[in-house]
Structure 1
């Protein structure tokens, strides 16, 4: 019982650990070198339907069409750069999972570091404000009780025991 449960669990874990490639057997090229290039290119291209998934991982019909198109261009003799340029000319920069660094993508590339710098700046300002408030509190003189207040306080403390 336990052995079959462990075996089932092991098989499930193996299935979860394997890559979920959506490439159908009829898409695979006969030349292993071209197929390897096609796989590398497919991993860099975004599925226009799934958006945050490569065409290599997507089961969408458009992803299949793009995988076939990549393989057709490779068989026709295009270089990897030519295949990418062709797809970018047809679908725009959005087809790339990792956008190119150019003047029109500068905001995209700069947004992360700028947000990090702004966050660090905000933390520094907050810490400075907190330390200056603590220093002001420490420098503020403590108000003394009047003689009447001190007598009443002593009387209350004596009543309490």
Structure 2
């Protein structure tokens, strides 16, 4: 089990959303629904960079059994950094804010729960992003409280 306490005071949990079950998106639909949750962390920026933290997340995924064999396929864990304060970057393995965050209810709904006043670096509010997306897929809600 991975625990934040393992990192000392470098990483502090600030908020945790409810769990949300969401229908698989993309091409691989024949799989179990995903369970999504959003957390807000306070991270010591003198110790952690976004790239270093993403590398740690990828290592945690691997430790929990994730194998990147089928894009969009089943996986025991998928960790993403949605935003890192107001940092913007576009690298091979990390783009901030997450390039599809504003298109996904399964990101925006729990994000609104833990940070209702969050504004993306481009000035878009969570409510504006939610208003701009389609909530339904094949006439079913793509998110629901678990």
Common fold, TM-score beyond 0.5? Answer: no
**How high is the TM-score relative to the length of structure 2?**
0.22
> Which structure would you say has the larger RCO, counting Cα contacts within 8 Å and 6 or more residues apart?
2
Higher strand share: 2
Whichever of the two has the greater Rg, that structure is: 1
